[in-house]
Each structure stands twice: as structure tokens, then as C-alpha cells.
Amino acid sequence: MSTLQPYLAAARQILDKLAENRLTRWPEKIRIISRGQPLGAPEVKREVADVVYEALLQEQRFHASYRKRGESAASEYVVNPLGLVIQEQLTYLVATLWNYPDPIFLALHRMEGADLLDEPCRIPDGFDLQAFFDSSPLQFPEGDRPLKLEVLFDAEAGAHLRETPLSSDQSITEQQDEHLMIKATVADTAQLRWWLLGFGDKVEVVRPKSLREEFAAVADSMSICYKVTNNPPLAAKPGHLPS
């Protein structure tokens, strides 16, 4: 980022001189929102971000102290930065380590330190950031093959799919009981399941059969959790008290 600072400073000076220009108020008129539950962003150390961005821009290696999730101590790595992926509040660096060829994801907020190295970055032959992301764990894949999805939506709940389709081959058929039959070829991912579950009883999975059975099992499990009984919630039972 230090490389960009002179340009950012110059841009800010120009905008300050144009205080009466309506363009300077443009950022105040734009907001980006998420359809999901808002979550707080983890803190990324400024000095770490500066090194990462500089290394990515200059295509140089850097040394990083990185603490894996669930571990108390950081480990040391030599990192070849390949690209950045931003997913909601999280920023991931796609990189290889030392001289290994396989790219991985490194969460920036888990980097405890970073130092730029005077060595060129080793970029795997034919590496493509989009292709890597499409097949990555961040997509939460559940299967290797696309699903021929058929779901029955409450008409109001599924209305947005007329404007924002699930896929290029999506079709919508209106049913007589104020429901919409949606058919689309989609990736077999956990995100698809989370999205469908978010509609509750406003959507019914019809096909494929395996996914319908999976949702039936989830529904049965949730029914047991929420069944009206005289028993207290699990968190309030002895041995499950909050600490």
C-alpha cells in the first residue's frame, strides 16, 4: 500500500480542491448491503495488509507469521502471493508456500506479522484466480457434479428469482396454488443448502431425490429440537450451562 500512497494523496488533494463538485459527495450516496446476517469484520493489522498488498502488486515473496484457526501459536512461512478473494467481511490471500505448487487460502486476519522479501514471486504455470476460486473450499462444495434442481416456492418468496435467476437455464412455472416451480442447474454446494433453508417452509425441494431426502432429515431434526415439551432447552440443562 505504501507504493500507492503518493497517488492516493494526490487524488485526495484534487478532491479537496473540488469540494463544491457534486462528485466529491458520491461516496456518501452509495451503500452496499448483504442479504445475509450482518457479521463484524475481523481486524487485519495495517502493517500486515501493507506488506501483502505491496507483495501482490510487485509480485514479490514475503515472510509471514500465520496462526491457523484453532491454534494458539503462529507458524512461519515464505509466501508467494497470487491474488485476493473478498468474501463478505473476510479477505483471503490466494498463495503458494515456499516452492510448493498448490495454491491455498490464507486469511489476512490470521497473519500476525509480515515482511517483504527481495525475491520474485513463484507463480504456478497456467494459474487462473477465477478457475481456482470456482473449485475452492470457499464455495463449500458438496459434490463434483451440478444439480438439476427443482424447488417449489411460495409465490411471494420466489418472486425475486424472476429478476435474479439461479442459473442461465432457469425456468419458472406458475402453479395453481400460488406457488412457483423453479427448475435450474446449480452447483452442489453447502451455500445452496443454507440459502434454501433460509426460506423455511416457503420452499420445498422436489428434486433431486437425494437433496429432498436430505432436507427431510434436517426438517425432522429441527422438529425434534423445537418440539413443545416440558424439558428446558439444551443450553439450560445441567452440564450445558454457559460459562
pLDDT band of 7, cuts 50, 70, 90: low
For the chain, the residue count is: 243
* Edge-first strand listing for the sheet containing 147-154: 171-174, 179-186, 147-154, 203-207
**Domains of the chain by residue range:** 39-138, 147-226
User: What distances in angstroms separate CA 198 from CA 33, 133, 201, 202, 226, one per listed residue?
Assistant: 17, 24, 9, 9, 16
Residues 45-73, mean pLDDT to the nearest whole number: 95
- Answer yes or no: is pLDDT of 218 > 60: yes
CATH class in words for 147-226: alpha beta
Kindly provide the b/e burial profile for residues 29-65, where b requires at least 16 CB atoms within 10 angstroms of the residue's own CB.
Answer: eeeeeeeeeeeeeeebeeebbbbbbbbbeeebbbbbb
pLDDT band of 238, cuts 50, 70, 90: very low
pLDDT band of 237, cuts 50, 70, 90: very low
95, 103 in Cβ contact below 8 A?
A: yes
Give the tens place of pLDDT for each residue, 26-46: 778 898 887 778 889 899 999
- Answer yes or no: is pLDDT of 201 > 80: yes
Q: How is residue 22 annotated by DSSP?
A: G
| pLDDT confidence of residue 31 | 86
Q: How is residue 189 annotated by DSSP?
A: B
Query: From CA 212, how far away is CA 206, in angstroms rounded?
Result: 6
| pLDDT confidence of residue 133 | 86
- Answer yes or no: is pLDDT of 230 > 60: no
| pLDDT confidence of residue 32 | 81
pLDDT band of 240, cuts 50, 70, 90: very low
Q: Is the dihedral of CA 119, 125, 127, 132 positive or negative?
A: negative
- The pLDDT mean for the chain works out to 87
| pLDDT confidence of residue 88 | 82
Q: How is residue 155 annotated by DSSP?
A: T
Give the tens place of pLDDT for each residue, 140-163: 777 779 999 999 999 999 999 999
pLDDT band of 239, cuts 50, 70, 90: very low
Query: What contacts 98, CB < 8 A, 6 or more positions away?
Result: 77, 78
pTM higher than the cut 0.85: no
Residues 227-235, mean pLDDT to the nearest whole number: 61
Residue with the larger pLDDT of the pair 143 and 120: 120
